[in-house]
Amino acid sequence: MTAWLHIIGVGERGPSELPASYKLLLTYADTVIGPSRFLADLEPIARPNATADLFNPEFVSKRSFEAVARALSGEEPDHSPAANYADGRTLVEWEPPIETMVEQVMARRDTPTVILASGDPMWFGIGATLTRHLLPGEFVIHPHLSAFQLAAARLHWPLQSVATVSLHARPVEALHPHLVPGNRILALTADHSTVDLAIELLVDRGYGRSLVTTLENLGSPEERITSDEAESFNSHDVEDFYVLAIDCVPDFTAPLLPPVPGLPDDTFINDGQITKREVRAATIAKLAPFPGAILWDIGAGSGSVAIEWMRAARDTKAIAFERDGNRVQMITANASALGVPNLEIQMGEAPGTFGRRPPPDAIFMGGDVGNDDLFDACWNALKPGGRLVANAVTLDAEHALYSRHLQLGGELTRIEISSLDKIGGHRAFKPRMAVTQWVVVKAVHGLVVTP
């Protein structure tokens, strides 16, 4: 397969600074897609008397690779009249949102196309997005130094020890899981407003003493770096193109909310129906989150399990199924406050709200555990090899778990927690309600899988 699409990373100095081999790709493209500031800087190509064959995709692709190969081997580009074809290129400016941008690319499929992208297209860029829509052989990536690399170099921060996030077209609440003492964060931004929203979040979380830095127009003659503590940072002169850097310094009263499961119960807005901290930590451990995995949280309550699942591993997803409207509002508020605003919430009576969705990698049943119809729907929806965890506190629910364990196997555990309390003038451990926990892995190809 011959690649029809080349995605070229561009720095702040624009396309004029690209290597000769990349300029050759631009020469042979039928279509060039990118932001207006890059398209405006393209060098015009005046080449009359082109023939139709020169725009045949197979011919153009072949000539492109031959020319690029020569340039990369150190040969001078061919400026002879035979190489100067008419400039029949179409310039296409990006049209947000991202779904429309993908459509713009897919409409040019199998025709010679170049995308001009900022920095490294595979680091929170259009290249990373298109990997979900194109085969590897259809496109080639030509990265530039990323904004993160340039920012880390300016700040002398070891990049492997820095949290990198994108706040471009994403809620600033995505910073929450990274706000821990001593952590360093580099964030791509949307516009001038991002730094103000981030400062407000830092102060509210008790991280007002953190050092905030904006690194504007990195790699261009207009590069500018501004630093100050969050509480006193003046963002008035900050423009739209910058990387946001945060060196996290907590106040003495700032809560410690690491991504490790088991956050304090009072971290979540709740009405008392919440999987308690110690049980929640054990539950997340049994659900075993991993990058990109999907969880269904059935009877989500405050959303604590779904939220901690999403905080525990990169790019995880979760759907919180909850029938109570007040609790849906709690889940929404908790997800935003704890850095997973993209948690999907489905209001209504399960399993009627399951619909046609991709099969989940894990399911948690924390409510209505004794409902056999609900369990059957969950089991049928679960991906082969997926894990189901159910917690029971009532006799009826425990009986259901015992019956299912006899039928399907798995692992049954009794979790008993006691906490310090007072009895009269004395201190004693007061037991909480015991929780019976069942974890089972769905068979793969008829084979029994142990948790």
pLDDT band at 352 (very low <50, low <70, confident <90, very high): very high
- Percent of the chain exceeding pLDDT 70 equals 89
Write down the pLDDT at residue 449.
57
Name the DSSP letter for residue 162: S
Rounded-to-integer distance, Cα 20 and Cα 33, Å: 19
The H or E element spanning position 167 is none
* Residue 141 scores a pLDDT above 50: yes
Peptide bond just before 221 cis, omega within 30 deg:
no
DSSP 8-state code for residue 350: T
**What mean pLDDT is predicted for residues 41-56?**
53
Output the pLDDT for position 65.
45
pLDDT bracket for residue 450 (50, 70, 90):
low
Whether 51 shows a pLDDT value over 70: the answer reads: no
Q: Global pTM?
A: 0.85
Other C-beta atoms lying within 10 Å of the C-beta of residue 258:
14
Q: What is the mean pLDDT of the chain?
A: 90
**Whole-number Cα distances in Å, 317 to 190, 263, 333, 358:** 23, 19, 17, 11
DSSP track, 287-324:
H---TT-EEEEET-TT-HHHHHHHHHSTT-EEEEEE--
Does position 75 have pLDDT exceeding 90, yes or no?
no
**Across 366-370, 373-377, 408-412, least confident range:** 366-370
In terms of C-beta density within 10 A (0-12 exposed, 13-18 middle, 19 or more buried), how is residue 266 classed?
exposed
pLDDT per residue as tens digits for the range 86-113 = 467 899 999 999 999 999 999 999 999 9
Token representation of residue 392: 């029971």
Please indicate whether residue 173 or residue 70 has the higher confidence score (pLDDT): 173
> Quick check: 56 pLDDT over 90?
no
> What pLDDT, in 10s, does the model give residues 375-397?
999 999 999 999 999 999 999 99
Residue type, 278: E
CA 306/CA 343 separation, integer angstroms: 8
Rg (CA), the chain: 27
Report the alpha-carbon distance of residue 279 to residue 138 in Å, rounded: 48
Tokens 């037991």 belong to residue: 431
pLDDT tens, residue by residue, 270-289? 999 899 999 999 999 999 99
Q: Say if residues 208 and 233 touch (Cβ distance below 8 Å).
A: no
| Edge-to-edge strand ranges of the sheet holding 163-166 | 163-166, 184-188, 242-247, 211-216, 224-229
| pLDDT, average across residues 163-192 | 96
Using the predicted structure, report yes or no on whether residue 59 has a pLDDT greater than 50.
Answer: no
pLDDT digits (tens, 9 = 90+) for 196-241: 999 999 999 999 999 999 999 999 999 999 999 999 999 999 999 9
For residue 63, the model assigns a pLDDT of 45
pLDDT confidence of 43, banded at 50, 70, 90? confident
Reported confidence tier of residue 50, pLDDT bands at 50, 70, 90: very low
Cα distance between residue 71 and residue 73, in whole Å: 5
